[in-house]
Amino acid sequence: MHVIDSHTGGMPTRVILDGGPDLGNATLAERARCLATEHEQFYKSVLLEPRGQPGMVGALLVEPRNPDCAAGVIYFDADAVLGMCGHGTIGLGVTLAHLGRIDAGVHRIDTPVGEVAIDLKDANTVQVTNIESRRVLHAVTVETESFGPVTGDVAYGGNWFFIIEPSPIPVAPENIRQMVDMAISIREACIAQKIGGENGEPVDHVIFQGTSPNERVHSRNFVLCPDNDYDRSPCGTGSSARLACLAASGRLAAGEEIIQESVIGSTYRLSYQPSRGNGVIPRLTGQAYIMSESKLIFAESDPFRTGIGR
């Protein structure tokens, strides 16, 4: 299996160029459901240790439905198939350029949640124009078993987020373990209490929004992903969901650019334009770097061929 690994703001992406399962030629959403329900062992084996690493997201290249798209892609982490991935799309853009498949400029990418646009600025810098993002619940309170009541917004940016601002815990590297534990409890409470999307979609990510000591930075975030690891980048889909919340509350004007920082200090530049619906069209700009190009081998005799379970 031929793969290229990159990182976006410290968050790794593994682009799978060949060797993936046959998912047919249905829509990307249908192919993503097929991957989730029929090929769980495949995607876990790619990302779990010993081949993978904590936090890594896979990006399976597939044929796009629209021939005008530069690529089709299905994202997943070690626990779930994702609707969209912002840091992964930045990593994908840099990877496609590394392969000579795209040049600088704007290109369309087909994903399970719809087409997104990437603007390759240089060998490492990509601007992503995401799908329409929206806030669906404001100031809703969930009752957690270990931490009591917690109030936040539910928003969509390609995945489903429960966003707490201000964070009940200072968003700092020394508090990551504490934030992971609390965020898992919040997500479990949201699912149990059926607090999520308009059509019953469950919350799969949790965000704590805090302040940054850097004056040029708008805010710092911590993001819990479905695999119970945290996002080293500022999270593209999470930043999209947050932009929808800022717009809905009148706290950020269309076209105004801000800097969003992750818990480890990496940054995205963010802005939005109004959408035709009730949300916004987010734009996020970040940088990715190629780390390796390799061939994964799955030996039949390998006792950890399918990864180390957790």
**Residues designated as active site:** 85, 235
H helices within 52-175, ranges in order? 86-98
Of 198, 208, 114, 109, residue with least CA distance to 152: 208
Q: At what angle do helices 236-248 and 86-98 cross, to 10 degrees?
A: 130
Which 3-state string (H, E, C) describes 102-126? Answer: CCCEEEEEEECCEEEEEEECCCCEE
Residues 269 and 257: beta-carbon distance below 8 Å: yes
190 Rama sector, left if φ>0, alpha if ψ -120 to 50, beta otherwise? alpha
Strand partners, 128: 118, 284
Pull the structure tokens for residue 87.
């840091």
Of 212, 241, 246, 233, residue with least CA distance to 286: 233
H helices within the chain, ranges in order? 28-38, 40-47, 86-98, 176-192, 236-248
Return d(Cα 83, Cα 221) in angstroms, integer. 21
Burial class (CB in 10 A: 0-12, 13-18, 19+), 204: buried
The amino acid present at 190, given as its one-letter code, is C
Residues 128 and 236: beta-carbon distance below 8 Å: yes
Return d(Cα 240, Cα 18) in angstroms, integer. 30
